[in-house]
Amino acid sequence: MKSISVHAEHEYRVEVGVEWRERLQEVVSRHNKVMIIASENIAQISGLTEITNTSAQVRLTLIPDGENAKDISVAIRMWNELGAFELGRKDAIVALGGGTTTDLSGFIAATWLRGVDWYAFPTTLAGMVDAAVGGKTGINTDSGKNLVGAFHSPRSVFIDLSFLASLTDRDFSAGLAEVIKTGYIADPEILHLLASHPSVQGARSVDKELITRSVAVKASVVSQDFTESSLREILNYGHTLGHAVEKLSGYTLRHGEAVAIGLVFAAELSVSLLGLPAKVAVDQISLLKCFGLPTTIPKEQYSWEEILTIMMGDKKARNGELRFIGLEEVGKPGWIAAPDHNLLKSIYERIAI
Ligand code: GLY
């Protein structure tokens, strides 16, 4: 087991390589009441109902898979269920599922009684390396993704690698986009590891090291800038355009797939504005392709005008000016503020087919 600590509004540990049932039993024994919020697709997992049935003080509630979980109607249902269960200030919420489950559950924990303890048990690669770590919680609204939310760190994050076996290759690859992002902004060793295991199966064989390294980067960044006043923005490499494409797809693209397209765009922008060697952008495309990730924008589906409109509404835009995270070189992120819209459009045209 590897344990990585995060210093945020409180200190907590991310444990990689644990057995989730053991840790869940410990959480249950530590609190009077526990509400487990689990995504529907893992509801049948062996052991969950046994733990839930051990006591009337443990309640299991299911939420939809994917972005449908991060909806105000689901949040209202959770608040009503917590009210009926009379979950109090010393009680806790457990999130068991992918990134959307931990985002929603953390938000419910942040808002219930103005904040109760919660524990994250991520079951997807994207959840393990990104969503469950760092204390960003929230829901989506018509205005955009994650515009309503709170910083509210979990008490612990427990990563059981056995969940990854049930992930489709598509979902595993989508998680790899965040791993690749992490390699480019801060840990080139991740890129070497992936380049020497250039297939989904290959990456699966080194999952523990990829996850431990990615979590270590995220933990370090979050510990230095929990509320994203500056440094934490580097975790948004690939996300400015990525979020726009994801929203335009009606969330049919996985978050990581949209981020992969965003990484291609941000690298091209970096070549133009931050002096990134063009070879890095080319190599990044090759690496993304090894894992079946998209590297072009289908222009029939995603027009530049629509992408631009959504990006301007993103929380990363400030005072009507777009902001991107780019790269000066591998492992050295840079900030791009208010880039020329003609340049952005010309990059779109290069990667849209
Ligand atoms: N997903 C980016 C962050 O947690 O800041």
Residue 36 belongs to domain with CATH number: 3.40.50.1970
Whether 232 and 184 map to the same domain: the answer is yes
Q: How does pLDDT run across 38-78, given as a tens digit for each residue? A: 999 998 888 898 888 878 899 999 999 999 999 999 999 99
Non-local (6+) Cβ contacts of 264 within 8 A are: 281, 284, 285, 288, 295, 296, 351
Number of domains in the chain: 2
Whether 127 and 259 map to the same domain: the answer is no
Whether 271 and 203 map to the same domain: the answer is yes
Whether 222 and 134 map to the same domain: the answer is no
Whether 47 and 161 map to the same domain: the answer is yes
136 C-alpha to center of ligand 1: Å? 7
86 C-alpha to center of ligand 1: Å? 32
Q: Which position has the token pair 């080319």?
A: 282
243 Cβ inside 6 Å of ligand 1: no
160 Cβ inside 6 Å of ligand 1: no
Q: How does pLDDT run across 105-149, given as a tens digit for each residue? A: 999 999 999 999 999 999 999 999 999 999 999 999 988 788 899
Is 239 assigned a catalytic role? yes
Domain's final residue, options 125, 150, 165 = 165
204 Cβ inside 6 Å of ligand 1: no
Whether 236 and 284 map to the same domain: the answer is yes
What is the biggest distance separating any 2 CA atoms in the chain, rounded to whole angstroms? 62
The tokens for 38 are 């689990």
Phi-psi region of 266 (alpha: psi -120 to 50; beta: other; left: phi over 0): alpha
**Residue 47 belongs to domain spanning:** 2-165
Residues 202, 187: Cα–Cα separation, whole Å:
19
Is 10 assigned a catalytic role? no
Name the burial class of residue 187, with classes exposed (0-12), middle (13-18) and buried (19+) by CB atoms within 10 angstroms of its CB: buried
In this predicted structure, what is the pLDDT of residue 318? 66
Spatial CA neighbour of 313 closest among 243, 227, 234, 228: 243
Domain's final residue, options 165, 191, 215 = 165
Radius of gyration of the chain (CA): 20
In this predicted structure, what is the pLDDT of residue 122? 98
Name the burial class of residue 283, with classes exposed (0-12), middle (13-18) and buried (19+) by CB atoms within 10 angstroms of its CB: middle
Whether 200 and 279 map to the same domain: the answer is yes
130 Cβ inside 6 Å of ligand 1: yes
Which residue among 232, 246, 263 is best mutated to probe the pocket of ligand 1, counting the most ligand atoms within 8 A of its Cβ? Answer: 232
In this predicted structure, what is the pLDDT of residue 167? 96
Q: What is the DSSP string of 93-104?
A: EEEEESHHHHHH
Mean pLDDT of 91-99: 97
235 Cβ inside 6 Å of ligand 1: yes
Whether 218 and 74 map to the same domain: the answer is no
Is 178 assigned a catalytic role? yes
Q: How far apart are the first and last CA of the chain?
A: 45
Residues 258, 260: Cα–Cα separation, whole Å:
5
Domain's final residue, options 140, 165, 190 = 165
Is 7 assigned a catalytic role? no
Is 306 assigned a catalytic role? no
Whether 301 and 242 map to the same domain: the answer is yes
Which phi and psi (to 5°) does residue 54 adopt?
A: -65, -25
Whether 177 and 296 map to the same domain: the answer is yes
Whether 157 and 177 map to the same domain: the answer is no
Whether 196 and 137 map to the same domain: the answer is no
Q: How does pLDDT run across 19-42, given as a tens digit for each residue? A: 999 999 999 999 999 999 999 999
Q: How does pLDDT run across 201-227, given as a tens digit for each residue? A: 999 999 999 999 999 999 999 999 999
Give me the CATH number covering residue 189. Answer: 1.20.1090.10
